[in-house]
Structure 1
Amino acid sequence: MNRRHFLTTAAALAAASSHAAPPSRLRIGQIGTAHAHAAGKMAAMRSLTDLWEVTGIVEPNPATQSTVTSTDPYQGLPLLTEEKLLATPDLKAVVVETRVEASCATALRCIQAGKHVHLDKPGSLDHTEFKTMRLEAEKRGLTVQIGYMLRYNPAFTLLFKAVREGWLGEITEIDAVMGKLADPLTRKDIGALPGGGMFELGCHVMDAVLTLLGKPDSVHPFSTPNGKDGVKDNQLAILQYPKATAVIRVNHTDPFGGPRRRFNVTGTQGTFEILPLESGRVNLSLTLAQGGYKKGAQSFQLEVPKGRYDLEFVDLAQILQGEKKLAWDAAHDIALHETVLRASATWPGA
């Protein structure tokens, strides 16, 4: 993995919300509503009316087909079969929001039909399946945008810039916490996943770690379940690099998990902390003035868009219009998927 490549391509994200809108709307559809982010992704697309025309929704689950188009944010959309959606004239992209068990195979069918894909995380339970899909898109010159929600957050955009420009010196440690108090339904959902909460939730912060440092030399997973139902609800992973370690904690038994979510990067010349994770609040300490920020400790608030997923689809529109390339390539996504499986102790042979 080439860390310089990651940090260079990530630089384009800072301008994602400031570019002019494409001259015409792009046609897009969605397959599935079972993913936890499905409704939010549809709401984002439908709110960006100058960029996207949503042509319809595919619901593979017969139990929900009769009601999906009568509920927000899907209300009023045509309910299509997958075949009909993929045959829609001038359809540019498909958003895949199925359950993870079906998501990668669905994405591959879309790619084989010549469509760009927004695929929600983590993408697949099986690494070979994921790698095959991602390389097929690369071979066809198609974009696969994985739905990691921190990629376009303004605080992370600034963090990527800070590391790219050397504000923090050489990175020595990253500390990330991604917790919540899981309700019974959430426990059931993560209990059905071999990798538990680390696979389902920890992947978001692992994406940021690999954006900054690349693929780790080794990954050490730990699991200390708290409940009596066997669910992997309290996990830790250590990602080891030649001169740095990244520690990722995912705790689904934390009653104050949301406010405690954080991402901290420490280097030989400074520290950059985001707390809470999606708030846009930054605590920055520098040994030297950098990038318009003073020497010493300072805290500030960055403006965060109201729509959690809006910038994902602004970026995707610019990519499909040929204005830029996606900052995360197939090599990154494949390395990340392997790391997620290793961190959740589900890598073959682990």
Structure 2
Amino acid sequence: MRHVAVVGGGILGLAVARELTARGDRVTVLEKEPEWAAHQTGHNSNVVHAGLYYEPGSFKARMSVAGNRSIVAYARERGVPVEVCGKLVVATSAEEVPRLHALAARAEANGVPAKLVEPAEAHAYEPEVACVAALRVESTAIIDFPAVCRAMVGDLETAGATLRLGTPALAIRRGARGGVELATGTDVVRADALVNCAGLHSDRVARLAGVSPRARIVPFRGEYFTLRESASHLVRGLVYPVPDPTLPFLGVHLTRMLDGSVHAGPNAVLALRREGYRWRDVSWRDVAEVARFPGLWRLARRYPRTAVDEVVRSVSRRRFAASLARLVPAVTRADLVRSAAGVRAQALLPDGTLVHDFLIETAENQVHVLNAPSPAATSALEIARYVADQVG
């Protein structure tokens, strides 16, 4: 029986481990934190994406559309809370309407159930939105991704996998008889193959394993607010802006969660630590590493105004509220309560280009998942099948 070591205990690492055990492999999962899903999986908006934003034929498009179905089915099978509520993408000006139509065409190309609606029909879904046109996307859902991970841990325990919390991979080398050896600080794990699903540290784990990834992970913090209970009636489901293709990130949006609360965000600012959930979370090692990377400065030169706007929105609740009020005018600064932030592991190339698609690289007896931001949680079961195929 082949032994595979999986580094990373977020939803991707657990999904890959689950897929490998289902194929008959013996699996050990190493997670450096004392709990599962401690970072990206446990700090996101819990949206199951439909797949309408992504380039047709890309990994993200194919895996998000399929993943939307498979993760919802898995949640229902395992009793994990999930609600297929749909969402509304709203054009708030005439200038945005052509982009909305282009988004509708992309949805059709990707096989995403969506329809263009006039303001009156949009208001039937979301009475408080401001729009001149909208796109209704039916398959978007809300889920509890940490609960999905707990269900996967249960599956792995039943399958006899070895699950090790508080166990970082500190060094990786080729085994004397082939395979890989991973030093954890307390022992050495010997395996026939390695799968790297380390998220924010995936490029570092790849380098530990002797691989030189072509992209570098740059952490971006996404900050959220929650609407006060007195204002939560303003949003019934999910309200998103029309994305601007000239900008690197989607923009803030409003999401009603499973518990009835409404989350607002995220923005996107450079984090000063790979796990920097607050401005005061600083790692000088991480700052120096990013500062030495030419890709960051080339990205900043490409989007100088966006960078400034995101920082201003980070420190100004008034500016954050103004961005939300474009979508739902009744939202005010007083309605916003600071909520927990997340950090996105964004792969960036040396020329300053953001890696938009999932990036998975292979070496002998190794598979490295090097870029898997949103919609990776949505696509987790599909990515797991692909990665398991690459392991062989």
Query: Taking structure 2 as the reference length, what is the TM-score of the superposition?
Result: 0.26
Which has the higher relative contact order, 1 or 2, with Cα contacts under 8 A spaced 6 or more apart? 2
Query: Taking structure 1 as the reference length, what is the TM-score of the superposition?
Result: 0.29
- Asked which structure has the greater CA Rg, the reply is 2
